[in-house]
């Protein structure tokens, strides 16, 4: 994710939170009108909500993205004020490094 996309995601996070507070039917009607950055972020948030506490790798596999991209998106959402918690206490990756987990607060 480049710096411009990151800044855009941080800047639109409050509006994403407002969008998520709309009725589901309204969200479904408006979703196609949103830009790619917003759509991608909302898909990540929806997946995180449905999976509960999960790893970057698991989110990346579900979305067909790189775990580093998922990490960058989650950090940008957090910086923008989205209530997501990250920690390093669960699961060991195949490389032996701790995998960070994410969950909505």
Sign of CA dihedral 62, 65, 66, 71: negative
Query: 3-class DSSP state for residue 31?
Result: helix
Q: What is the pTM of this model?
A: 0.84
- pLDDT (tens, 9 = 90+) of the chain, 105 residues, equals 899 999 999 999 999 999 999 999 999 999 999 999 999 999 999 999 888 888 888 999 999 999 899 989 999 999 999 998 887 654 334 444 555 667 776
**Which tokens is 90 given?**
């669960």
66: left (phi over 0), alpha (psi -120 to 50) or beta: beta
| Strand extents, DSSP E, the chain | 54-55, 84-87, 101-104
């Amino acid at each position: 994710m480049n710096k411009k996309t990151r800044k855009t995601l941080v800047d639109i996070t409050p509006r994403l939170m407002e969008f998520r507070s709309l009725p589901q039917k309204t969200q479904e009607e408006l979703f196609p009108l949103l830009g790619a950055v917003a759509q991608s972020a909302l898909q990540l948030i929806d997946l995180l909500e449905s999976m509960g506490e999960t790893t970057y790798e698991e989110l990346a596999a579900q979305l067909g993205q790189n775990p580093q991209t998922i990490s960058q998106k989650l950090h940008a959402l957090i910086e923008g004020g989205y209530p997501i918690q990250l920690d390093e206490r669960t699961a060991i990756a195949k490389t032996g490094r701790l995998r960070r987990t994410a969950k909505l607060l």
